């Protein structure tokens, strides 16, 4: 029992250390720009501190153009790990209905999933060990969604998490 408590305390400390010093959500919002021809909502975000798990930060912005939509979010911590989880192993799946694959784009690991019938899917870019850029898209092809995802400042987001990492 004592060893279990010690292990749990060590895990909590490690999580706190990994997540400590995250950027402010307003910094992340700066890297989610307006997209030409798209109507964009204001960026929303939060930064939360929890004694057991440390800090978590998120920023999100929605874009619409006709019936096409993009939901863009930057998240850290457990939510980022959950979003990245399906792609982490590098598994590729392709069926008549859709696909899931992992690519490297401009040096970033990028997971892409797509449903052919609904013209919808998701793109997840690992921007830091503890953070991802996630894009959910509706009513568009995955290539168009990927081109729009590239308009987000991946390098700026990476730098925001790198410059706030604990020393």
Residue 74, number of CB atoms within 10 A of its CB:
30
Residue 95 DSSP class: -
**What is the average per-residue pLDDT within 42-62?**
89
pLDDT of residue 164: 60
Task: Give the C-alpha separation, 74 to 154, whole Å.
Answer: 10
Domain ranges of the chain: 2-163
Alpha-carbon distances of 72 from 16, 27, 63, 124, 165, rounded to whole Å: 26, 15, 8, 10, 23
pTM of the predicted structure, to 2 decimals: 0.83
pLDDT in tens, 119-141: 999 999 999 999 999 999 999 99
Task: Give the C-alpha separation, 79 to 130, whole Å.
Answer: 9
pLDDT in tens, 138-154: 999 999 999 999 999 99
């Amino acid at each position: 029992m004592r060893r279990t408590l010690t292990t749990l305390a060590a895990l909590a400390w490690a999580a706190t250390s990994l997540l400590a010093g995250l950027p402010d959500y307003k910094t992340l919002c700066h890297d989610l720009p307006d997209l030409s021809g798209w109507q964009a909502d204001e960026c929303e975000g939060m930064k939360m501190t929890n004694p057991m798990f440390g800090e978590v930060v998120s920023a999100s912005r929605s874009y619409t153009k006709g019936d096409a939509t993009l939901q863009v979010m930057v998240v850290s911590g457990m939510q980022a790990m959950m979003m990245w989880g399906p792609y982490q192993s590098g598994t590729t799946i392709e069926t008549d209905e859709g696909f899931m694959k992992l690519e490297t784009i401009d040096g970033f690991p990028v997971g892409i999933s797509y449903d052919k019938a609904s013209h919808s899917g998701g793109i997840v870019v690992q921007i830091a060990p503890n953070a991802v850029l996630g894009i959910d898209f509706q009513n568009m092809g995955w290539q168009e969604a990927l081109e729009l995802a590239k308009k987000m400042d991946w390098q700026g987001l990476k730098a925001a998490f790198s410059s706030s990492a604990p020393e």
